[in-house]
Structure 1
Amino acid sequence: MSVSARPDIAWRMRASPQGIPRRVLLWVALVVLAVVAVMALFPQLIATHDPLRTDVRAALEAPSAAHLFGTDQSGRDVFSRVVFGAGRSVGIGLLATALALVIGLVVGALSGIAPRAVDATVMRITDVLLAFPEFLVALVVVAVLGPGPTNVAIAVTIAAVPVYVRLARVQTRSLALAEHVEAARILGVPAMRAFVRHVVPGVLGSLSVLATIGIGSSILAAAGLSFLGLGPIEPSPEWGLMLSGGRNVLGTAWWIAVFPGVAITLTVVSATIVGRSLRARAEGRA
């Protein structure tokens, strides 16, 4: 039997544009996300120093055995700050994604079964928000609400909601016409009960796959807002804030900005790889 006749074997052998097998990329991404999860949940197990402790005498030290990622302008250990920053950066992204998923599910599903006038109004608002980049929408929201980690989470949530609303609405309309839903109605199951039991779970499954990809975008947006000084403030360890603090000394102390930037990049790319793999499986392409 040829390889082309076995889609599962073909998928395993298929390589990414960089020549790396997709399955290898997936496992690497899962390992990276596992490490980030441990950093976020149990930073004290990995960190080597107090992330807030300053030592002017050790300021701007290059990476060494004593300080794996070097020290910043205040003599704080960059490695420990990157480890502790995972909880804040990833936490904001996860919270924003979860809220966007819930709001998008409720609004989109209800819009899918609402009267035409209500549905049209919701979709026009959604289209307007989708016309702008998510980061720009989040930036405008933070400008209105003011800086702070809570407002950053709210802003990223609002920016991400339209995508979930549109998908939830499309999935709701599609599933509402499915044979098993029609059969439930014929058997006398109340319309709302049939909707909650047979339509909502299917919509939630589709949104969950999208949310896996959206986590990376939310983390990146939150880090971008923190980079602009609109998120957590010093001395809080947060990846975007650390990146901002090191941009003015890149020529003499590159490690202050590079290592938080690498952490952001690896986390976002890994989340995207896992999300796309899940979407491929959901669509039967894997």
Structure 2
Amino acid sequence: MSFSRRMLMAAALLVLAVIATMALFPQLIATADPLRTDVRSALEAPSAAHLFGTDQSGRDVFSRVVHGAGRSVGIGLLATALAVIVGLIVGAIAGIAPRPLDAATMRINDVLMAFPEFLVALVVVAILGPGAINLAIAVTIAAIPVYVRLARVQTRQLVLAEHVEAARILGVPRVQAFTRHVIPGVLGSLSVLATIGIGSSILAVAGLSFLGLGPTEPVPEWGLMLSGGRNVLGTAWWIAVFPGIAITLTVISATVVGRTLRAQAEGRLS
């Protein structure tokens, strides 16, 4: 890895560490109550008293951005984790299933992959209704197909691998050999892909919240904050700009880490 790539990776990890601290321990960074309103302080520009200014209700934008990390990132992480688990199960079963079942499963998967993930998530959450749980379910369903495809491919390759054949020759039962030698390898490949998928999930969560299909006011959430500030960009730009920066930095950093890990994994295989 070149020096520039190492520096980029270090910067991305630093940003993710800050975001993780914001999500897990928001009180350590922002002491102000993100829900406290003060009409007399509404739409104040960034200052020493309010680092990111205040919104239309006089709430501290910095505190809301910090506390919003837990929901925006948390929902994205939950959706990615669920998508990986479901994708692993379905893809692994398809990889060892009889040809008709495998073909039917992958045709359904191909149909889902033909549509953009955000569009699938939008349709699902529109059917289920707004809310954090439904938002996580929608983003999960949209992300599953790509993990199913990779899990199927990896399963087919690992089932024929020499160490798996050796385990069978030594008398290891098929199920045990599959769970010990195939599943961990497939999960490793999915984990690398998931580091990139986390950024996409967080972006989808923010986009759906922006459209009013996620958490509702007064909950601090980055996409919802963007939506609340879009109509006052000319006079109070800070309401939308700072949560937008948080989303951008998080997605870019997660993507950088994910692509770097994938490049390293491909380098080891080549």
Q: Pairwise mapping of residues 166-177 of structure 1 onto structure 2 (< 5 A)? A: 166-177=149-160
Q: Which residue identity does 1:186 align to in structure 2? A: I
Does 1:119 find its partner at 2:102?
Answer: yes
Q: Pairwise mapping of residues 17-96 of structure 1 onto structure 2 (< 5 A)? A: 21-96=4-79
Q: Which residue identity does 1:98 align to in structure 2? A: A
1:152 alignment counterpart: 135
Does 1:223 find its partner at 2:203?
Answer: no
CA distance in structure 2 between the partners assigned to 1:48 and 1:69 by the alignment: 14
For residue 219 of structure 1, report the CA deviation from its aligned partner: 0.3
RMSD of equivalent CA atoms: 1.0
Q: Which residue identity does 1:141 align to in structure 2? A: V
Deviation string 1:231-265 (CA, Å, 9 cap, x unpaired) is: 00000000000000000000000000000000000
CA distance in structure 2 between the partners assigned to 1:96 and 1:282 by the alignment: 24
Does 1:181 find its partner at 2:171?
Answer: no
- Alignment gaps of 5+ in structure 1: 1-10, 14-20
Q: Which residue identity does 1:12 align to in structure 2? A: S
Q: Which residue identity does 1:54 align to in structure 2? A: T
Deviation string 1:68-106 (CA, Å, 9 cap, x unpaired) is: 000000000000000000000000000000000000000
CA distance in structure 2 between the partners assigned to 1:187 and 1:35 by the alignment: 49
Q: Which residue identity does 1:136 align to in structure 2? A: L
CA distance in structure 2 between the partners assigned to 1:57 and 1:242 by the alignment: 20
For residue 170 of structure 1, report the CA deviation from its aligned partner: 0.1
3-state DSSP of counterpart to 1:25: helix
Does 1:277 find its partner at 2:223?
Answer: no
- Equivalent position to 2:88, from 76, 87, 105: 105
1:259 alignment counterpart: 242
Does 1:130 find its partner at 2:120?
Answer: no
CA distance in structure 2 between the partners assigned to 1:143 and 1:238 by the alignment: 19
Q: Which residue identity does 1:253 align to in structure 2? A: A
Q: Which residue identity does 2:93 align to in structure 1? A: L
Where do 4+ consecutive residues of structure 1 move more than 2 Å?
none
CA distance in structure 1 between the partners assigned to 2:217 and 2:161 by the alignment: 53
For residue 195 of structure 1, report the CA deviation from its aligned partner: 0.7
Deviation string 1:160-203 (CA, Å, 9 cap, x unpaired) is: 00000000000000000001111111122111111111100000
CA distance in structure 1 between the partners assigned to 2:150 and 2:206 by the alignment: 26
CA distance in structure 2 between the partners assigned to 1:182 and 1:45 by the alignment: 53
CA distance in structure 2 between the partners assigned to 1:34 and 1:186 by the alignment: 46
Structure-2-length-normalised TM-score: 0.98
Q: Which residue identity does 2:260 align to in structure 1? A: S
Q: Which residue identity does 2:35 align to in structure 1? A: L
2:176 alignment counterpart: 193
For residue 122 of structure 1, report the CA deviation from its aligned partner: 0.7
Does 1:237 find its partner at 2:214?
Answer: no
3-state DSSP of counterpart to 2:267: coil
Q: Which residue identity does 1:273 align to in structure 2? A: V
Deviation string 1:3-52 (CA, Å, 9 cap, x unpaired) is: xxxxxxxx324xxxxxxx11111100000000000000000011131000
Q: Percent identity?
A: 83
3-state DSSP of counterpart to 1:207: helix
1:4 alignment counterpart: none
Structure-1-length-normalised TM-score: 0.93
CA distance in structure 1 between the partners assigned to 2:8 and 2:166 by the alignment: 43
CA distance in structure 2 between the partners assigned to 1:121 and 1:145 by the alignment: 26
